[in-house]
């Protein structure tokens, strides 16, 4: 599942730690049983697992007896807290481009949430959705991100405050917790978590806009997202596992069991990425075949055996399909 491998920037856990300090709660007591001895500025360059974040957020709510810590966390985070994405947002030309940038690259900073944007009559809406059920930390995460986005919008265009509406998909059980948001309209028990902005303000130029800096930062965001997607794709995970077990190529059913899923589910995941298990296996065999031909003195028959072919004729046919020439000719031309 997505959350098993999700890594969240440590700055968000640091913000929770600062809130705990404000409540006068001993950090050792809060961190007891967690992977951490201390939460300090060193977390700015670290990442946190979803499991660790989940457990510490639950404990923070219990110890503070405050279910609206997310509001406090959101207020502590500025654009500078969000790395290269924050820098790109600071240099956007207008709020439309800022919202679209956030929609595209939110996973760089918070991979638990998806963002979608749309126009609705006289309003522009930024909507938040869970990538998977966040259960007990759902409300805290949603309100933290909503307030974070509001704070970012305030930084970009200070006069926007009275034109914002924040919608929370739950009841207001702690009225005092939301006093810091009285400069905008609040809606509770809404169908979804969202921020609405008056349409006319969306195309107003952001005072600090810098097109050159924005383009440079957006390129870096794209590169970072590409790396994350490659690391998290099932295609890449399956390929790595096949390579690690190339002495006895696993079947799709065996591979699926390693991911704690059925063969049918793995097939659907791979199809959604535009590939099949057979194609990945073929690609791995092609890669190994080329490596063996270039870098070893193994005979064609031996290579065929190591790649799981019943005889070298089947291997030769497969290799011709891959490279357009026979294995022996390929080796002689290397």
Q: What are phi and psi of 127, to 5 degrees?
A: -110, 140
Q: How far apart, in whole angstroms, are the C-alpha atoms of residue 312 and residue 303? A: 8
Report which of 322, 244, 330 is spatially closest to residue 293, judged by C-alpha positions.
330
What is the number of structural domains in the chain?
2
Give yes or no: residues 98 and 143 share one domain: yes
pLDDT for 148-167, tens place per residue?
A: 999 999 999 988 888 999 99
**DSSP type of residue 205:** B
Sequential DSSP letters for 78-140: -GGGGHHHHHHHHT-SBHHHHHHHHHHHGGGT-TTEEEEEEEETTEEEEEEEESS--GGGHHH
Answer whether residue 50 is part of any domain. no
Q: Which of the listed residues 193, 226, 259 is the one where a domain comes to its end? A: 226
pLDDT for 122-152, tens place per residue?
A: 999 999 999 888 999 999 999 999 999 999 9
Give yes or no: residues 168 and 307 share one domain: no
Q: How far apart, in whole angstroms, are the C-alpha atoms of residue 291 and residue 22? A: 59
Residues 143/168, Cβ–Cβ less than 8 Å:
yes
Q: Which domain holds residue 306?
A: 233-333
Q: Which residues lie across from 128 on neighbouring strands?
A: 115, 193
Instruction: Mean pLDDT check: name the lowest of 82-86, 231-235, 320-324.
Output: 231-235
Query: Is pLDDT above 80 for 204?
Result: yes
Q: Say what the pLDDT of residue 1 is.
A: 40
Q: Which of the listed residues 178, 208, 226 is the one where a domain comes to its end? A: 226
Q: Say what the pLDDT of residue 231 is.
A: 67
Alpha helices in the chain (DSSP H): 2-5, 10-22, 27-31, 50-64, 69-76, 83-90, 95-105, 138-156, 211-232, 234-244, 252-258, 263-272, 277-295, 300-306, 312-323, 327-333
Query: Is pLDDT above 60 for 309?
Result: yes
Give yes or no: residues 82 and 219 share one domain: yes
């Amino acid at each position: 599942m997505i959350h098993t491998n999700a890594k969240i920037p440590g700055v968000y856990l640091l913000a929770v730690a600062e809130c705990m300090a404000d409540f006068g709660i001993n950090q050792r007591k809060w961190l007891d049983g967690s992977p951490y001895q201390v939460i300090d500025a060193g977390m700015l360059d670290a990442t946190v697992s979803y499991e660790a974040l989940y457990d510490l957020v639950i404990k923070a709510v219990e110890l503070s007896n405050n279910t609206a810590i997310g509001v406090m966390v959101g207020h502590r985070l500025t654009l500078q807290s969000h790395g290269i994405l924050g820098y790109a947002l600071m240099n956007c030309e207008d709020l439309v481009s800022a919202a679209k940038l956030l929609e595209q690259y939110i996973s760089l900073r918070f991979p638990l949430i998806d963002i979608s944007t749309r126009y609705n009559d006289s309003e522009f809406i930024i909507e938040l959705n869970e990538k998977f059920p966040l259960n007990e930390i759902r409300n805290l995460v949603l309100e933290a991100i909503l307030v974070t986005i509001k704070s970012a919008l305030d930084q970009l265009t200070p006069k926007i405050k009275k034109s914002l509406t924040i919608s929370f998909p739950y009841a207001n059980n702690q009225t005092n917790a939301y006093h810091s948001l009285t400069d905008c309209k609040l809606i509770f028990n809404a169908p979804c978590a969202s921020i609405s902005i008056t349409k006319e303000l969306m195309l107003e130029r952001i005072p600090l806009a810098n097109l050159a800096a924005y383009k440079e930062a957006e390129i870096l965001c794209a590169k970072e997202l590409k790396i994350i997607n490659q690391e998290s794709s099932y295609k890449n995970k399956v390929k790595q596992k096949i390579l690690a077990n190339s002495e006895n190529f696993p079947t799709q059913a065996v591979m699926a069991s390693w991911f704690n899923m059925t063969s049918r589910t793995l097939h659907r995941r791979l199809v959604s990425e535009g590939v099949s298990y057979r194609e990945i296996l073929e690609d791995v065999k092609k890669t190994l075949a080329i490596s063996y031909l270039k870098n070893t003195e193994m005979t064609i028959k031996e290579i065929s055996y190591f790649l799981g072919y019943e005889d070298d004729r089947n291997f030769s046919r497969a290799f011709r399909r891959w490279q357009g020439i026979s294995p022996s000719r390929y080796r002689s031309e290397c």
